Amino acid sequence: MAILPKGVKHIPGYLDREAQRALVEAIRAVVSQAPLFQPVMPRTGKPFSVKMTNCGSLGWVADQAGYRYQPSHPITGALWPAIPDSLMRLWHEVADYDAEPEACLVNFYADTARMGLHQDRDEADLAAPVVSVSLGDDCLFRIGQTTKGGKTASIRLASGDVVILGGEGRLVYHGVDRIYPATSTLLKNGGRINLTLRRVSRPR
C-alpha cells in the first residue's frame, strides 16, 4: 500500500453506486449549461488531453494568456452554473473547512488522456483543501512532494473514491499517469470524470 504524504487522504468508495449515478446526472446538467472545452497550455498553445468545464461562482481556465479563475465560460461567456447540492454536502462532510467552495473543476478523461504532475496553486486561500472525486473508469494517480523532483507514490483510484489535499499536503505535486479503460460501467461511453472542489478567495 502506498504511503501518502502528510495532509493527503484517500477515502476509497466514499460514494456508493446510487450516489455516483446521481452525481453523474448532476454533472450532465452542468455540462448542458457549460459545455466541455479544450484548454491549452500557456505560451505553447498545446491542447490538454482532457476536456473540462466548471461550476460555481468561479471556474478555472487555461489558455495562452495563462492559468486563472474567472466567473464565466471562456467560449459561451455565460456565468458558470451552481455547484450541485450533493457536492456542497460532500465538501462539508470531508473538507474540515468553514468557508464554502467557490469552484468545482470538471475534467473528462478519455481512454488515452493523462495529466502531468502539477500543483494546484492558483487559489488565494491555500489554507483550504482541494477535494477530488473520481467517477467512471479507474486511473493511476501519482502523488509527489511539495517540491519538483521529489519521491512519488502511485495509487489506483476507482469510481466513488475521494482524495483530499490539505494541510502539509495542499501543495503536493500530483497527476494522472493513465486511465484503465472499461473498468467501470458508470459512464455509458466509458472514460473518467474527475471533480475538484476548491476555495479560491480568502474568507472575509
Higher-pLDDT residue of 1 and 151 is 151
Please give the DSSP secondary-structure letter assigned to residue 155: E
- Domains in the chain, number: 1
The answer to whether residue 2 is domain-embedded is no
The answer to whether residue 203 is domain-embedded is no
Name the β-bridge partners of 37. Answer: 52
Q: List pLDDT tens digits, range 84-108.
A: 999 999 999 999 999 999 999 999 9
Any idea which residue has 452525481 for its cell? Answer: 23
pLDDT at site 43: 84
pLDDT of residue 1 exceeding 80: no
6 pLDDT tier (thresholds 50, 70, 90):
very high
Return the SS3 of 17.
helix
Q: List pLDDT tens digits, range 162-196.
A: 999 999 999 999 999 999 999 999 999 999 999 99
Q: How many CB atoms lie within 10 A of CB 25?
A: 11
Per the structure, the complete domain to which residue 28 belongs is given by: 8-198
Between the CA of residue 133 and those of 36, 45, 63, 136, 164, what are the distances in Å?
18, 28, 24, 10, 9
| Grid cell digits, residue 188 | 455509458
Q: List pLDDT tens digits, range 61-81.
A: 999 999 999 999 999 999 999
The answer to whether residue 188 is domain-embedded is yes
Q: List pLDDT tens digits, range 23-37.
A: 999 999 999 999 999
> How much is the average pLDDT of 107-115?
97
Please give the DSSP secondary-structure letter assigned to residue 97: -
The answer to whether residue 183 is domain-embedded is yes
204 pLDDT tier (thresholds 50, 70, 90):
confident
Quote the CA–CA distance of 91 and 72 in Å, as a whole number.
23
CATH at residue 89: 2.60.120.590
